[in-house]
Structure 1
Amino acid sequence: MGRPNPPRTTFVIASRDRAGELASVVTRLLDTTDCPIIVVDNDSRDDSVATVNRLAVRAAGRVRQVELDSNLGAVGRNAGVAAATTPYVAFCDDDSWWQPDAPAIAEQTFDAHPGVGLLAARTIVLPRDEEDDFSRMLADSPLGHPPHLPGPAILGFMSCAAIVRKTAFEQAGGFCDILHFRGEEMLLAVDMAALGWDLCYVPALVAMHQPSQVRATTAAQAARVLRNDVLTTWLRRPARHCLRATGTLLTATLRDAEHARAAGEAVTRLPAVLRRRRRLPDRVERALEALEAV
């Protein structure tokens, strides 16, 4: 706080039915940063909207709420980005937040690297106060650390630990409505890369994540991730990858009812997938295959 120049980063939080946790995150961001905050409410049934409205009244114009009339999942973030007036957007979930210096670090990094569209942060998981395993994977990215980038090149990220250049995000179409939620990041990553944007991991950026107690079962979450992996593959990858991913999902249907439900959801979405299917540039496909070979 107290920066000589006004912030050029907006926090965007998409939330549903987690009023208490959401209020804690918004309050923390208000207390520790000077950035504007946009909360996108995914048709909550609790008192989330009223809670954010109360915070907004006390926040001197720093908090804005976008109320959706249906649950759009990850696509809710697109509405938040559209409403942002700053060049950069830091995503939060209602159970995650950023270290106070993250916006300034991201702004300086984006300014110095105009070809970078997304920065992935190091994520610390609470209450055990340990680095997330995915952060270590990003740090050791097989794509290496090209000299023109501020960190290792990547083709994956966690939404709650990513800061985007607004123009790059919108040029790539944001998060896809076919996927809804869970594992939605990969499609956006490859679409940004296909447009020529660089994505990289910057460990100096730190996001904090204290997983909510209000969430779907582990099996349901895993099933949705696998469903979206299959759909993403069908949307962008060669046929051999599509067949392999589909086989993995069909095998998983034997595991539990959640995976069987996810397979059914994937089938119902295939017509929309086929209408929007397009192959990635060879350079992006080669990068994906390099990641998969590890």
Structure 2
Amino acid sequence: MSTTVPAPEAAAPPAGAVPPDEDPRVTVVVMSRNRRDELLGSLGRHRAPVVLVDNGSDDGTADAVHRAHPRVQLVPLPDNVGAHARTIGVRRAATEFVAFADDDSWWAPGSLAAAADVLAAHPDVAVVQARVLVGPEERLDGLCAQLPDSPLPRPAGAPGPVLLGFIACGAMVRRSAFLAAGGFDDVVRFPGEEERLALDLATAGSLIVYRDDVVVHHHPSPRRHDRAARVAAVTRSALLTAVQRLPWTWVGRALLRAVRGGPATRAGVRAALPDLAAALRARRVVPPHVRALRRMLE
């Protein structure tokens, strides 16, 4: 487990203030839906040009952002497309490195440049996963606590532990590799959108690495789904990802676990059904070496 001292959280800039761009190689892509107040509080913290993709908000988000943050490139969508909004944002970005943030997360000062340095120095790295600190108390995200001890093989010269997944709101991607792997698709949408992309990046020979010296602050919005809804949504995503990329025996095991898991996981099965045909059309089973990596994590 990491013993690195957490990076102190910088104070929010005054209303209307624009922090200096930290690195010309980076764009920040933010997705949001109906969280106007949280978004207005976090946008001013980004130290790079921002592309904001709004997932069909009806709370006045677009007008408020135009007034308070005129430099932000706003992409308003008529409907909620989930994490596919990030893919739309990456296509709009003018830089090769793109940092993701949600309306309740932002990169600590110095971390955009640090992650960009990793990507610039290691062409085989497609994603840099940051250390995510949660809430005003800066609690280490539970997943990040495990990442330094990743059991996956670490090639010589890899700039950090190698992963087969990441936390989208705390990751920087290489734009070309992200788009070549399909980005976040419009089948899974959200949450759990990272898994299919991670499998495809591994299939392409690209690395996802964890860096303890790169920090993202995440202050989860109080307006989040209850636990049962979250479990159902995660189950739906896992099943659709399995149908897209995993052998049928693995899909069957995942389905059986969900059916036996309880009301929330069974709700996730039902929620997956409308998108099953789209998942089948996108089906392409990952090669044996990627399946071996996944087994190591299981």
Question: Hey, what's the Cα distance between the residues in 2 that align with 1:225 and 1:52?
Answer: 30
2:143 matched to which residue of 1?
A: 134
What TM-score, normalized to structure 1? 0.91
Instruction: Please report how far the alpha carbon of residue 78 of structure 1 lies from its aligned counterpart in structure 2 after TM superposition.
Output: 0.8
Deviations 1:226-276 (CA, angstroms, capped at 9, x unpaired) = 111111112111122111100111123xx33x4343211212222222221
1:28 matched to which residue of 2?
A: 45
More helix by share: 1
For 1:226, which of 226, 235, 251 is the aligned residue?
235
For 2:289, which of 239, 261, 283 is the aligned residue?
283
1:56 is matched by which residue type in structure 2? H
1:53 is matched by which residue type in structure 2? H
2:271 is matched by which residue type in structure 1? E
| Aligned partners of 2:234 and 2:268 also within 8 Å | no
Question: Hey, what's the Cα distance between the residues in 2 that align with 1:245 and 1:71?
Answer: 27
Alignment of 1:91-170 (within 5 A): 91-170=100-179
| Aligned partners of 1:220 and 1:259 also within 8 Å | no
Question: Hey, what's the Cα distance between the residues in 2 that align with 1:6 and 1:144?
Answer: 31
2:28 matched to which residue of 1?
A: 11
Alignment of 1:209-220 (within 5 A): 209-220=218-229
Q: Root-mean-square deviation (CA), in Å?
A: 1.5
Deviations 1:3-48 (CA, angstroms, capped at 9, x unpaired) = 8x9511111110000000001110122xxx2x10111000001011
Question: Hey, what's the Cα distance between the residues in 1 that align with 2:280 and 2:116?
Answer: 38
Instruction: Please report how far the alpha carbon of residue 145 of structure 1 lies from its aligned counterpart in structure 2 after TM superposition.
Output: 3.3
Deviations 1:38-72 (CA, angstroms, capped at 9, x unpaired) = 11000001011111111333xxx3x1100101100
Question: Hey, what's the Cα distance between the residues in 1 that align with 2:159 and 2:86?
Answer: 26
Question: Hey, what's the Cα distance between the residues in 2 that align with 1:2 and 1:232?
Answer: 39
Question: Hey, what's the Cα distance between the residues in 2 that align with 1:233 and 1:184?
Answer: 12
1:171 is aligned to 2:180 = yes
Q: How many residues align?
A: 280
Percent of aligned pairs sharing the same letter: 39
Question: Hey, what's the Cα distance between the residues in 1 that align with 2:212 and 2:156?
Answer: 16
Instruction: Please report how far the alpha carbon of residue 147 of structure 1 lies from its aligned counterpart in structure 2 after TM superposition.
Output: 2.4
SS in 1 for 2:156: coil
| Aligned partners of 1:227 and 1:249 also within 8 Å | no
1:78 is aligned to 2:87 = yes
What TM-score, normalized to structure 2? 0.90
1:195 is aligned to 2:204 = yes
Question: Hey, what's the Cα distance between the residues in 1 that align with 2:35 and 2:78?
Answer: 17
For 1:237, which of 228, 246, 251 is the aligned residue?
246
SS in 1 for 2:44: helix
For 1:51, which of 64, 67, 72 is the aligned residue?
64
Deviations 1:90-132 (CA, angstroms, capped at 9, x unpaired) = 0001111110111111111111101110010111111332111
Question: Hey, what's the Cα distance between the residues in 2 that align with 1:145 and 1:51?
Answer: 46
Instruction: Please report how far the alpha carbon of residue 81 of structure 1 lies from its aligned counterpart in structure 2 after TM superposition.
Output: 0.4
The structure-2 alpha-carbon separation of the partners of 1:277 and 1:212, relative to structure 1 and needing over 3 Å to count, comes to same
1:266 matched to which residue of 2?
A: 272
